[in-house]
Amino acid sequence: MALPNFTPEERAKALEKAAQVRKARKELKENIKSGETDPASVLKTRKDDPLVSKMKVKEFLQAIPGIGGAKADKIMHDVDIPGNRRLGGLGIRQAEALLEYLS
């Protein structure tokens, strides 16, 4: 698939939008880490919120206090979630199993 040809203005606009999304996702992860945001509530909004739906599952898990890379991998393996899956791509059973695992 060929990449679209952007004008310099369109490219700058796209880069700015991407930076805003990265910043918002970083704030969400910090809120999860600090306990301000409940991971279960984030997981429940995975289909409705584009910011959440495009976050990788491993990235989400690692934002939860006490879960690092190895533990996130183990959880994903136990719940049968592929390593490159995003929250929006989780099936109903995968999301329910992940919610149960986090409870």
What does the buried/exposed string (b/e) look like for 34-56 if buried means 16 or more CB atoms within 10 Å of the residue's CB?
A: eeebebeebbeebeeeeebeebe
User: Residue 1's pLDDT is what?
Assistant: 67
Condensed to tens digits (0 to 9), the pLDDT of residues 44-56 reads 888 888 889 999 9
DSSP 43-64: HHTTTT-HHHHTSBHHHHHHTS
Alpha-carbon distance of 64 to 49, in angstroms, equals 19
Name 29's Cβ contacts closer than 8 Å, sequence gap at least 6.
Answer: 59, 60, 63
Mean pLDDT within 77-102: 91
Q: In this model, does residue 93 exceed pLDDT 80?
A: yes
Which domains does the chain show, CATH number per domain?
8-102 (1.10.8.50)
pTM of the shown model: 0.84
Mean pLDDT of all residues in the chain?
91
